[in-house]
């Protein structure tokens, strides 16, 4: 009786492991950015991410949420984050919606204003595995990381001068091209 139960249990486990292996090995599991998510993928990934962040016990922001911080954060953001996370009043970057998961648009809708800056700090420092979100641990200083995380946490309350800092540079004026000798020859032949 016990033997039968153990044998049944082992067969069940083997079938499960085999099934999961087959799901991945046969190419049924999603691999492209445009594929729909795996069953439970988002739930499990978010659970694991939240558990890591809770365990990390990130200390409260080392710098205050004020105008000076937001202006400094805007400079960091424009250079390192805007290419994926977008700028205020601008169309989303071409790649933002073509990643899986999508890069959150920080200046549209809620962005991450409903997350404490500590949570965004953890993500910016460590990156998010199996997403396009890189780790900025050895790219930005701790001060810069807090500045940019205070900015995105307060993205809906920024002043005009912070917005100005986040405006894309106008394209450089193009100089009219001097006619090149090759062109002069080409036009002579016409």
For residues 66 and 162, give the distance between their C-alpha atoms in angstroms, rounded to a whole number. 11
Q: Are the beta carbons of 88 and 100 closer than 8 angstroms?
A: no
CB of 27 to ligand HEC, least distance (A): 24
Query: What would the x/- binding string for ligand HEC be over residues 101 to 140, using CB under 6 A?
Result: x-xx-------x--x----x--xx---x--xxxx-x----
- Nearer to ligand HEC among residue 12 and residue 37 (C-beta): 37
Question: Is 99 a binder of ligand HEC (CB under 6 A)?
Answer: yes
| CB closer to ligand HEC, 31 vs 184 | 31
Binding to ligand HEC, residues 32-61 (CB under 6 A): none
Q: CB of 80 within 8 A of CB of 139? A: yes
C-alpha–C-alpha distance, residues 63 and 162, integer Å: 17
**What stretches of the chain show up as alpha helix (H) in DSSP?**
2-25, 41-56, 67-80, 82-85, 117-126, 142-153, 160-165, 181-189
User: Does 93 help bind ligand HEC (rule: CB under 6 A)?
Assistant: no
Measured from the CB atom, the residue of 133 and 162 that comes closer to ligand HEC is 133
Residue with Cβ nearer ligand HEC (124 or 158):
124
- Does 81 interact with ligand HEC (rule: CB under 6 A)? yes
Alpha-carbon distance values, 172 to 66, 168, 169, 175 (Å): 33, 12, 8, 9
Please name the residues in contact with 61: beta carbons below 8 A apart, sequence gap of 6 or more.
117, 118, 121, 146, 149, 150
42/29 Cα distance (integer angstroms): 14
C-alpha closest to that of 153 among 115, 124, 127, 123:
115
Q: How many of the chain's residues bind ligand HEC (CB under 6 A)?
A: 22
Q: How far is the CB of 28 from ligand HEC (least distance, A)?
A: 23
Q: Which stretch binds ligand HEC (CB under 6 A): 9-17, 23-31, 75-83, 177-185?
A: 75-83
Residues in touch with ligand HEC (CB under 6 A):
80-81, 83-85, 99, 101, 103-104, 112, 115, 120, 123-124, 128, 131-134, 136, 148, 152
């Amino acid at each position: 009786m016990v033997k039968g139960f153990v044998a049944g249990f082992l067969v069940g486990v083997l079938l499960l492991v085999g099934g999961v292996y087959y799901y991945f090995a046969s190419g049924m599991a999603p691999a492209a950015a445009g594929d729909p998510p795996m069953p439970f993928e988002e739930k499990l990934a978010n659970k694991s991410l939240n558990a890591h962040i809770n365990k990390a016990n990130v200390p409260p922001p080392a710098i205050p949420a004020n105008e000076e911080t937001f202006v400094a954060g805007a400079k960091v953001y424009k250079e390192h984050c805007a290419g994926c996370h977008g700028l205020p009043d601008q169309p989303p970057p071409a790649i933002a919606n073509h990643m899986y998961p999508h890069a959150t648009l920080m200046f549209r809708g809620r962005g991450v204003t409903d997350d404490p800056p500590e949570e965004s700090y953890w993500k910016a420092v460590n990156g998010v595995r199996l997403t396009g979100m890189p780790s900025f641990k050895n790219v930005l200083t701790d001060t810069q990381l807090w500045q940019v995380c205070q900015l995105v946490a307060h993205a809906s309350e920024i002043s005009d001068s912070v917005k100005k800092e986040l405006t894309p540079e106008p394209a450089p004026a193009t100089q009219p091209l001097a006619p090149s000798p090759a062109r002069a020859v080409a036009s002579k032949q016409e």
